[in-house]
Structure 1
Amino acid sequence: MRTLIIIPAYNEELTIGSIVALAKKYGDVLVVDDGSSDRTSEIAQKAGAIVIRHKTNSGKGAALRTGFEYALSKDYDVVVTIDADGQHNPEEIPYLVEPLIKGEADFVIGSRYLNGSKKKIPLYRRLGLWVLNKSTKVASKMEVDSQSGFRALRRKALEKLNLSSSGYAVETDMVINAREQGLRIKEVPISVRYDVPNKHKKNPVSHGLGVLASVVGLIGYKRPLLLFGVLSLMSFVTAGVLAYLALQPYYHGGRVFLTQAIGAGIFTIIGIQLFVAGLTLNVLAKMVRE
């Protein structure tokens, strides 16, 4: 089976050469340089990779879409994606490809949670990943290592995926898409390391919140009734609390607190509108899918 290893990269001149060199043993290597300002492209080419360069930084999702389009145009049977920062070990590529070759899966995710590697994940990352994994489960009804960039897909899966995310939410987008298309998803254990040169390219808090916001947006797009239903419930709960605070003095011989009563009415109206919006968008989403 013809295999293409896709490496999305942004300012990874310190690690890209070794990742390419190790990955080449298992297939052709494509580096999608997402607008780097360093020597990422030059070093990747010297190491033996095919290089496609974006003029500007467009995000990991955009880089992966470029790679997937290339793989389809060149008739590759299997695609492996691996991060360029050195967190993943290219020597483990056969572990991800094996279930595809055996026909056991269409989409394989390298998981940090199956062999104890999660113990190496810093605590703040572990907490963030837990939130993102649970959010992905809400959208896809499947709990996996949703943010792992070490993955393998059959051509069949590539042809069916319709990705809209440009940033790091593409990892979740792929899982949701795969579930909607009825693709067989399997996880295999991988190792991971965090003592890499560029581990803090982005502020972890702002980065995590940005990814979470994108994931919530995907939930709203894929399962609008769920998202708007939760928001509606929160509005009704707030209305109930305000109504209790407004009426409590009345039952003790006092007056009704007008401000709280007005607030309860406003949040009740908001809750009704959110629920109706969720129902409407849910019907539209089903029509689009069909």
Structure 2
Amino acid sequence: MHNNTLIVVPAYNEELTIGSVVALSKKYGDVLVVDDGSGDRTHEVAISSGAYVIKHPRNMGKAHALKTAFRYAFEKGYEVVVCIDADGQHNPEEIPKLVEPILKDEADLVIGSRFLEDSKKNIPIYRRFGLKILNATAALTIDGVQITDFQSGFRAMNRRTLEEILKLNGDGYSMEGEALVHLAEKGIRIREVPITVRYDVPNKHKKNPLSHGLELLGGLLGLIGYKRPLLLFSTLSLIAFVIAGGLFLWAMTPYYEEGRVYLTQALGAGIFTIIGIQLFVAGLTLNVLAKMVRE
């Protein structure tokens, strides 16, 4: 496994944990750390721990760091690539568990899932709830593939998968989700294995969890809008109609007693009704266009 395997570690200001991640990972393959413009000693610690290091001149985001690593892996001829986070949340000792199905030719992409067997017991309740929403939304974008952990960053892939991912142009964390949609469409065999995750590591949130989650949800809704526009716009249309109905009932509250209506609420009901109609028509139109493009 060692000679043909590259362990990819995208890192940004992870001097406290990068050393141990590299030290534990390098017995399973070569380790490449992509220092994404860190302002601390991530670069120096990674090198002293035995990793190859590519340093971005500025912070460009996780997707760019992964793209840099994937291009390196492809150019150097690696057959297996493993992605693992630099903050110590993932256990490098579980790398063989992800690589094994690939070496046995049972999968092209293996995802470490926090929601299989006993993995999920370590997840804080608020994160588990948020991840469930994201995974349920993501399921609407992928046909025929059951994935429990859409946003896991602990993955292993073969060279065919690597080639397909290099064709993508995803930004930020959304690349992890967009890649799965693209790969599923290309017939990549995707499999999950259970992993353990730590949430007591330092610097574990580079972004506010809520804003990060909303960013991911926005990206997934964009994918649904592309793949299933009628579903997305019909849902939004229904929400608009429900709001319109609520405002209409509110507007009519004083009518039977006083013979008048609340004009502001009535106007709001009319506006949301128009919005609902426009959203539904837009969904129908985009659904037809999407089918034409795919055909």
TM-score of the alignment, normalized to the shorter chain, above 0.5: yes
- 1:167 pairs with 2:169: no
Tell me the equivalent position of 2:286: 281
Within 5 Å, which residues of 2 pair with 1:209-248?
Answer: 209-246=214-251
C-alpha separation between the residues in 1 aligned to 2:122 and 2:256? 57
Please give the alpha-carbon distance, in whole angstroms, between the structure 1 residues aligned to 2:133 and 2:9. Answer: 26
**Aligned residue among 11, 15, 21 for 2:13:** 11
Q: Return the alpha-carbon distance in structure 1 between the equivalents of residues 38 and 294 of structure 2.
A: 37
Correspondence list, 1:96-135, <5 A: 96-135=98-137
Is it true that 1:179 corresponds to 2:184 in the alignment?
A: yes
Counterpart-to-counterpart distance in 2, 1:160 and 1:199: 30
Deviation at 1:160, TM superposition (A): 2.1
* 1:73 to partner: Cα distance: 2.0
1:255 is displaced (CA, Å) by 4.5
What pairs with 1:1-290 in structure 2 (closer than 5 Å)? Answer: 2-141=4-143, 142-161=146-165, 162-246=167-251, 254-255=259-260, 257-290=262-295
Q: Distance in 1 between matches of 2:149 and 2:115?
A: 7
More deviation in 276-285 or 127-136? 276-285
Greater shift after overlay, 41-50 or 218-227? 218-227
Which stretches in structure 2 are left out of the alignment for 5+ residues?
none
Gaps of 5+ in 1: none
Percent identical pairs in the alignment equals: 67
Q: 1:175 offset after TM fit, Å?
A: 2.0
SS in 1 for 2:116: coil
In the TM superposition, residue 251 of structure 1 has moved relative to its aligned partner by 6.6
Normalization by structure 1: what TM-score? 0.90
State the 1:243 CA deviation: 3.5
Farther off after superposition, 242-251 or 144-153: 242-251
1:233 & 1:133 partners in 2: Cα distance?
22
Give yes or no for contact 1:134–1:143 (8 Å, CA) kept in 2. Answer: no
- Does the CA-based 8 Å contact 1:65-1:163 persist in structure 2? no
* Letter in structure 1 aligned against 2:32: L
Answer whether contact 1:88 1:150 (CA < 8 A) is retained: yes
Give the direction of change, closer, same or farther, for the CA distance of 1:132–1:57 in structure 2 (3 Å limit): same
Q: Is the 8 A contact 1:164 1:173 kept in 2?
A: no
Structure 2 CA distance for partners of 1:239 and 1:130, relative to 1, 3 Å:
same
Q: CA deviation at 1:249?
A: 5.7
CA-based RMSD: 2.3
Q: Is the 8 A contact 1:80 1:153 kept in 2?
A: yes
- Give the deviation of 1:34 after TM superposition: 1.0
- 3-state SS of 1:140 partner: coil
Could you state the TM-score of these two structures normalised by the residue count of structure 2? 0.88
